[in-house]
Structure 1
């Protein structure tokens, strides 16, 4: 099962406007909020939305059924026309396909040095990777499947963007934007940590910068990241890295207060 958050249905901006920062509210207030938008909404739907809002850090739980607005918003990457077109083609030809599509250019917001080449990542269930690869190749896209670093270096065209087909890890933390399943910030960060083939430009000091900026600007759910890192077999090493980032953030705060 994949963890998908339908951000377009959560009415995030209206939530922030309706509930004042610093003032607590409870579950019945959230129910009333969503009932104003949809009088037929089910309690189970509201419960799921509350869970999603908490997981995303948009609201913080301060007690049983008590909440406050989170301090930081959720990262919502751009969905380009090219992503929409490819997603539409895939869903039309593979109606039951579980897919995540995102562009490595989404990471530029957090980076000091901007890479000149980007990859449009199309992640699907392992058994569908070959079919999707040949489908997109027949559609005249420049596409690779689970490439090695040597393959990308030697054969990736010098154009700005290439498509890469990868296996979608089960229970990956996704989010739905305008009906398109794309990566959450938590997934992006873990992927950068775990994969230096697709993300060579985001390693070393650049990765530290990326993580620091992401944590400073947006709400990041560490538990979700650790669960996903565990699915990728990297929980222990990723946990250590998160601790180092946490310590670095504390040191930066202390230095700023001197």
Structure 2
């Protein structure tokens, strides 16, 4: 709106709304949040789903059909990282009251599984295993998507999670996190309003917004 008023000070807001609508419809602009747009057609992030992840989700969904569950594998971060970590985890996030049930169910099915581990427990029990599954609490209203009948994360959730959880994502902190954010913004459309709402649910909105502002010169695309 400010861009239009710069060249046409007397333009009506309804006229601006209509012009923006037409630009979005034609692919010149993409909406990334309420009142926020970026140039060009957006590209949404759709994570690949491995057969193992699909199998785990299928078992959990069959056992707990009414439970909100989100599964993903931390190797998805490799696409955005410069240095590859030495170990990866399968994350199974479930409603807090059902976490223990999910934990024991996976344990009965011979998974090496940890229940919301501390940094010490993760180092002691997760470092020597080839495949470790971590059961975590699923934050309410977390941004998720269905891919190949598997409920998994969105890119907005991934970015907010690595910022908020320094225990599981210890390998993605510091300069590596800046690289991840830069590559994610360069490759895909990021819905910042959705991401900030989720960070707010995690109690980190202010710090997360400050971080986005701090690293904006590296990765944030121009907005209107």
> What is the TM-score of this pair, normalised by structure 1?
0.70
Q: What per-residue deviation string (whole Å, max 9, x for no partner) do you get for residues 168-197 of structure 1?
A: 000000011011110000000000000110
Take 2:28 and 2:68, find their aligned partners in 1: how far apart are those partners?
Answer: 26
Take 2:87 and 2:198, find their aligned partners in 1: how far apart are those partners?
Answer: 26
**How many pairs does the alignment contain?**
196
For the pair 1:111 / 2:64, whether they are aligned, the reply is no
Tell me which of 160, 178, 189 is aligned to 1:219. 189
CA separation of 1:69/1:240 partners in 2, compared to 1, >3 Å: closer, same or farther? closer
Take 1:199 and 1:152, find their aligned partners in 2: how far apart are those partners?
Answer: 11
Q: What per-residue deviation string (whole Å, max 9, x for no partner) do you get for residues 112-167 of structure 1?
A: 00012101000010010000000000111000010011001111152332100001
Contact 1:146/1:165, CA 8 A, preserved across alignment: yes
Secondary structure at 1:227's aligned position in 2?
Answer: helix
> 1:60, CA displacement in angstroms?
2.6
> What is the TM-score of this pair, normalised by structure 2?
0.81
**Unaligned ranges ≥5, structure 1:** 1-22, 30-56, 62-66, 254-258
Contact 1:58/1:74, CA 8 A, preserved across alignment: no
Counterpart of 1:138 in structure 2 is 108
> 1:95, CA displacement in angstroms?
1.1
Counterpart of 1:98 in structure 2 is 68
**Runs ≥4 in structure 1, deviation > 4 angstroms?**
23-26, 67-70
> 1:59, CA displacement in angstroms?
7.0
Take 1:142 and 1:107, find their aligned partners in 2: how far apart are those partners?
Answer: 21
Take 2:183 and 2:61, find their aligned partners in 1: how far apart are those partners?
Answer: 34
